[in-house]
Amino acid sequence: MFVISLLSRLPLRVLYAFASVLAFVAHRVLKYRLRVVRGNIDLCFPHLSVEEREEIIGNYYKHLADIIVEAVWFGGCNRERLAKQQMVTALNPEVVKKLSDNGRSMVVLSSHHGNWELSGGIGIYCSARGESAFKEYNTIYVYKKLTSKAWNEFMHRNRIAPLDAPEQFQGYIETNEVLRHVIANRNEQKFYNFITDQRPYRTAKGSVPVTFMGQQCQSMAAAANLALHYGFNIVYQRMRWVSRGHYTYEFIPIEVNDSTTAQDIMNRYYELLSQDIMSQPEQYLWSHKRFS
C-alpha cells in the first residue's frame, strides 16, 4: 500500500510508461484471464474476423493497464490536481441539474466501461461546467465489499481521495446497506451511483432477463426496483474514452411513467451500454465472466 501511495504522486505520463509494460506482461506473458477475455469477445463479436477480435483483445489489455495506473494516480489527487489534469469532462451536467429541480433523489446507472474508478471526482467534473447537482453531502457511491479488509479500506480511501474532506465523507455505502440508507435519508435528496453490469446472473433472486450484446442472460435489478419504489429519477451515465488520460461523461435520462417496470429500465440500460461497447469495445471490462 505504501509503494502505491508513493507511485500516486508521480506524473500521469510517467505512470503510463509503467502501463505499457504492464499491458504486455498481462497479455503476452501472464496471459491474465486471456481465455475469459477471448471467450467474451468471440461471443459478442462473431461478425468480426479473428484478426479484428484479436486486435480488440490487445487494445483491451492496454486499456486495463491504463485503468490501473489512472486509479493509482487518482488516489494521490486533491481537487486542484484533478481539475488541472481534466481527466474527465462532463458534457451535459445541466441534465442532472434540471432533473434534480423536482427535489427527488436520483439513481445514476453506470458501468464498467471507460474507467469507473474515477467516479469519486464526479462533483469536480460537473462543477467545471457550471453549478453541479453532485455535492459531497448528497452523492452516494454504492460498492461491493472486497474479501480483503486491507484492500477494501485502501480502495475506499483511493476512490474518494480528491474530495474536500474524504476523511469525513459518509457516502461510500456497501450494497447490503443501501436500502437502510435510503430509508434513513428518505427526506433528503441523494444521488445514488450504481455500477450495474458487475455480472449478468442466471439464478440470483431479484434478477430479470435481458439481452446484452446479443446474448440472453439475467441481470440484477436492485437499483431499478429502488428507483421505482421510491419515485427516484434515473439517468444512465455514459463514459467515453477521448484520448489517453481523457474521458467524457454524458448523462442520459431513462424515462419512467406509471407503467414502467424494472424490466423496462434494465432493457434500456443494457441497450445503451451495448451501444457504448460496440462503439469502443476495448473500453469494457472483459476479464470477468459475463455470460456463464
Residue 74 identity (one-letter amino acid) = F
The bridge status of strand 233-243 relative to strand 172-174 is: unpaired
User: Looking at residue 72, what is its pLDDT?
Assistant: 96
User: Looking at residue 5, what is its pLDDT?
Assistant: 85
User: Looking at residue 203, what is its pLDDT?
Assistant: 60
User: Looking at residue 196, what is its pLDDT?
Assistant: 87
Q: Count the neighbouring beta carbons within 10 Å of the beta carbon of residue 90.
A: 24
Tell me how far apart the alpha carbons of residues 167 and 186 are, in angstroms, rounded to a whole number: 24
Tell which residue, 232, 132, 223, has the closest CA to residue 173. Answer: 223
User: Looking at residue 190, what is its pLDDT?
Assistant: 98
Query: What are the cell numbers at 262?
Result: 424494472
Q: Number of helices and strands (H, E) in the chain?
A: 11, 9
The bridge status of strand 191-195 relative to strand 246-253 is: unpaired
Rounded to whole angstroms, what are the CA distances from 52 to 42, 45, 59, 107, 140?
Answer: 10, 9, 11, 36, 39
Sign of the CA dihedral 190, 195, 197, 202?
negative
CA 160 to chain centre: 14
Helix (H) or strand (E) holding 236: strand 233-243
Tell me how far apart the alpha carbons of residues 69 and 44 are, in angstroms, rounded to a whole number: 27
- Consecutive 10-residue runs of the chain (292 residues): their mean pLDDT? 85 96 98 97 97 98 98 95 95 96 96 96 92 94 90 91 92 94 96 82 74 90 95 98 97 96 96 97 94 74
User: Looking at residue 191, what is its pLDDT?
Assistant: 98
**Predicted TM-score of the model (pTM):** 0.94
User: Looking at residue 291, what is its pLDDT?
Assistant: 81
Q: Is residue 249 within 8 Å of 90, Cβ to Cβ?
A: yes
